[in-house]
DNA sequence: TCAGTATACGACCATTTCTGTCGGGATTTC
DNA sequence: GAAATCCCGACAGAAATGGTCGTATACTGA
């Protein structure tokens, strides 16, 4: 619970990998899959999703493959997760309206919606670029997170 | 994905309900289940878990039931979720060691671990008491979240 | 124009996780 | 002792997830 799906993980890993290889015009799904030992076909589907959502550019044919559609600094972890797993809500009673109206139940939803927003904010503040900076992303991160908290 | 299980939701709802009825010495699982339309037996198991983890006190027999083991202000959403769903990690590759060693894969884990901590911090900063304050928990929350971000 | 490499995408199955139920047992009160 | 209540393990159905397959389509280069 409160866990990223493997697909989202794979997606983040793939984007990170692409961000780390800016010199190559494109990398195939297989290239990335091999690099990480991820099932190639599965990763292919994930990359297709990311392409559909405008995070990647794809190119078929020989020497084709995928490349970031934008600068790694402008792609957030949130976007990636959202593209792969769809909109997320921390609460089980998903939408604002229906299911939970039955009972006066989800009085709990309102406070949790705030938590949800906070988490989304944190994920929005993390860029693919951040993922590639192995050492001491702490400073950047702290800064970003602080920003999020303040805007809540 | 990145969603609380229904069990965790139910647990939070139940604790909130208990926090809102401090006058009664104890409420049975059935009482709470009826109040929210939750399957009684399922909620029973959840309350038992919370009891085992020291968040509730239970009492068998007539007029028995459950009551908060501590002040609602000192019970965090994090504790509840942890008690019900076990330790959580945002990453799929759960433990620090095994599975991901196979490949040099999870270079992504380190940054996400930080995100994980941030989220855990947010959840730790939310108390059951906060859940009961319907209007304007914003101030408290903002304060608490800010604190979390700074301690990251 | 043909062969090879790649993406695109829908359908499908296997596995795991989650939800909810059942049944029997123990504890307390009246 | 009977009723209410907690305790707890086992299990079945449902849903989500992970992964595979097959086929169609697009591009490249010889």
In the 3-class helix/strand/coil scheme, how is chain B assigned residue by residue?
Answer: CCCCCHHHHHHHHHHHHHHHCCCCCCECHHHHHHHHCCCHHHHHHHHHHHHHCCCEEEECCCCCEEEECCCHHHCEHHHHHHHHHCCCCCCCCCCCCCHHHCCCCCCCHHHHHHHHHHHHHHHHCCEHHHHHCCCCCHHHHHHHHHHHHHHC
Q: What is the rounded distance in angstroms from the CA atom of residue B66 to the CA atom of residue B54?
A: 12
Angstrom CA distances, B150 to A52, A116, B109, stand at 37, 19, 22
pLDDT value of residue A113 = 83
pLDDT digits (tens, 9 = 90+) for B20-78: 999 999 999 999 999 999 999 999 999 999 999 999 999 999 999 999 999 999 999 99
Residue ranges and CATH numbers for the domains of chain A are 6-151 (1.10.10.10)
- What is the token pair recorded at B126? 């939310």
In which residue are the tokens 């699982």 written?
A: B29
**Nearest-10 crossing angle of helices B6-20, B40-52:** 80
pLDDT tens track for A85-101: 988 777 765 544 444 54
- Report how far residue B120's alpha carbon sits from residue B136's, in angstroms, rounded to the nearest whole number: 23
pLDDT at A90: 72
When mean pLDDT is compared across A24-28, A82-86, B102-106, B142-146, the lowest value belongs to B142-146
Pairing state of beta strands A56-59 and A65-68? antiparallel
Distance B24 CA to C16 C1' (A): 41
Mutate to test the interface with B, among A108, A120, A146 (most CBs of B within 10 A): A108
Cβ atoms of residues A74 and A86 within 8 Å: no
Q: Nearest chain A residue to B102 by CA: give it.
A: A37
CA distance linking residue B21 with residue B126, whole number of Å: 19
Query: How many residue pairs from chains A and B have C-beta atoms closer than 8 A?
Result: 146
Q: What pLDDT, on the 0 to 100 scale, is given for residue A86?
A: 87
Do B4 and A92 make contact, defined as CB atoms within 8 angstroms? yes
Biggest alpha carbon distance in chain A?
Answer: 59
The two structure tokens encoding residue A117: 């927003």
Q: Tell me, what's the pLDDT at B136?
A: 47
Of A36, A89, A148, the CB nearest to B149: A148
Q: Is there contact between B58 and strand D, defined as CB under 7 Å from any strand atom? A: yes
* CB contact at 8 A, B43 and B84: no
Q: How far apart are CA B59 and CA B18, in angstroms?
A: 14
pLDDT tens digits, B68-110? 999 999 999 999 999 999 887 777 665 444 445 445 556 777 7
pLDDT in tens, A92-129: 655 444 445 445 556 667 788 888 888 899 899 999 99
Q: If you measure CA to C1', which residue is closest to nucleotide D4?
A: B62
Q: From the Cβ of B7, is strand C under 7 Å away?
A: yes
């Amino acid at each position: 619970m409160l866990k990223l799906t493997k697909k989202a993980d794979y997606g983040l890993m793939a984007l990170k990998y692409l961000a780390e290889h800016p010199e190559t015009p494109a990398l195939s799904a297989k290239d990335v899959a091999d690099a990480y030992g991820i099932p190639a076909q599965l990763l292919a589907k994930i990359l297709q999703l990311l392409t559909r959502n405008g995070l990647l550019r794809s190119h078929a044919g020989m020497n084709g493959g995928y490349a970031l559609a934008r600068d790694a600094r402008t792609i957030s972890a949130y976007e990636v997760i959202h593209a792969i797993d769809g909109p997320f809500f921390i609460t089980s009673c998903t939408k604002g309206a229906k299911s939970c109206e039955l009972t006066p139940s989800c009085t709990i939803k309102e406070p949790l919606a705030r938590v949800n927003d906070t988490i989304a904010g944190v994920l929005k503040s993390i860029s693919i670029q951040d993922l590639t900076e192995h050492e001491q992303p702490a400073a950047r991160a702290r800064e970003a997170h602080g920003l999020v908290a303040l805007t809540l």
